[in-house]
Structure 1
Amino acid sequence: MTDTTDRTDTSARAAELAVLFPALHAPQYWAWGRYDAQFSTELPPDELVTNIHLVGFADGDVVLCRDDRDHWFLPGGTREQDESVTDCLERELREEAGARLLGEPGWLGAHRCHTEDAVPYRPWQPHPDKAWLWGWGEVVLDSTPTNPADGEQVVEVRAVPVDEAQRLLLTGHDAWWGELIELAAELRRRAGLG
């Protein structure tokens, strides 16, 4: 009975969030990577996760990074070969935001992606299907970005209120980015932290 109840609760929650955040849940095409993408609050199998990103909250504000092209983004990135989700998230937070995760992240869901490209982005990645995992968590900004040579060159890290984070991310991004921030803030409130 509990397993059936849990599945029913999970399905009801997923349906509720899909109604609240329709742009995030709508089918998408990411031209930069030639991916068909679909967001779901159902978490993908670990072996499909190639990218991990975090809506990090520092004292209630959302942590954003700005690169040398004047592009705002959430910290996160590509998982290295044999790297765990947690190790990737911790590394990317250090590299791009100079941040440290305080406690376990909460998972928002993932974009499941499919490409018609002949080869994967990196040889060890699953192909042609993969997943971008999105999370939220409490962070502290306690150093500067390490800016590895093969990554984005971050020139500014800023913790801003939710509405400003949405505004900054919507410049040059699709509408679903604003809803992703809103979803993170909502789940944070439901966890009693907002």
Structure 2
Amino acid sequence: MTLADRYPLLYAPARWEWGGLDVQFSTDLPPDELVTNIHVISFVGDRIVLCRDARGVWLIPGGTREARESIDACIIRELAEEAGAELQGPAHWIGAHHTTSDRPAPYLPWQPHPHKAWLWCTADVALTGPPTNPEGAEQILEVQAFPPPDALRLAATDGPHMPDLLSLAIELHNPH
């Protein structure tokens, strides 16, 4: 049985209307120059870190890569901004949403257009303080590390594919 068979909602072609994006998940990693967003399925032991925003959505920490920012620097920055977390080891790439935008211009001037990618990774982290919540960024109201069943349920508030994504991350983080 393939990953696509086991995680059908994750692998199904989708439309992210909020961003004007047609998306397709794959474990084929995109070239660095196409990666515009990076999200970290963060583990504290066997628990998964989720962040609640002002809309009441529980999301995976991560976000938009800055101009000329490395993937590693983006991970470190986004973990601090959204989760008040620090890496406790290397990040491991698990896949990406390969996207095509129907917008007339890129979201930010330095981003590729119309094709780009959202990179997903896993990492062990420590929650070291509150999120930094910089001005102009997504404002996080709460950060918690949840047991997997609770994380799967809450992550669905950020999209129907998110429980599949977390399940894949759990499988790859603890292969047995």
Q: CA RMSD in A?
A: 1.1
Q: Deviation of residue 47 (structure 1)? A: 0.2
Give the corresponding residue for 1:178.
163
Secondary structure, aligned partner of 1:148 = coil
Using CA pairs under 8 Å that are at least 6 residues apart, name the structure with larger relative contact order, 1 or 2.
Answer: 2
Establish whether residue 187 from structure 1 lines up as the match of residue 168 from structure 2.
no
Counterpart Cα distance in 2 of 1:128 and 1:96: 27
Extract unaligned runs of 5+ from structure 1.
1-14
Give the corresponding residue for 1:139.
125
TM-score (norm. length: structure 1)? 0.88
The structure where helix makes up a greater share of residues is: 1
Counterpart Cα distance in 2 of 1:61 and 1:101: 15
Q: Deviation of residue 98 (structure 1)? A: 0.3
Residues 136-185 of structure 1 deviation map (CA, whole Å, 9 limit, x = unaligned): 110000111000011111111000011111111113522x1000000000
Give the corresponding residue for 1:87.
73
Q: How many residues align?
A: 176
Secondary structure, aligned partner of 1:171 = helix
Secondary structure, aligned partner of 2:174 = helix
TM-score (norm. length: structure 2)? 0.97
Give the corresponding residue for 2:40.
54
Alignment of 1:119-130 (within 5 A): 119-130=105-116
Alignment of 1:1-194 (within 5 A): 16-171=2-157, 173-174=159-160, 176-190=161-175
Counterpart Cα distance in 1 of 2:124 and 2:62: 14
Contact 2:59–2:158 (8 Å) recurs in 1: no
The one-letter amino acid paired with 1:168 is L
Counterpart Cα distance in 2 of 1:145 and 1:92: 9
Counterpart Cα distance in 2 of 1:36 and 1:43: 17
Extract unaligned runs of 5+ from structure 2.
none
Counterpart Cα distance in 2 of 1:19 and 1:101: 32
Larger displacement relative to structure 2 (101-110 or 48-57): 101-110
Q: % of aligned pairs identical?
A: 51
Displaced runs of 4+ in structure 1, greater than 2 A?
none
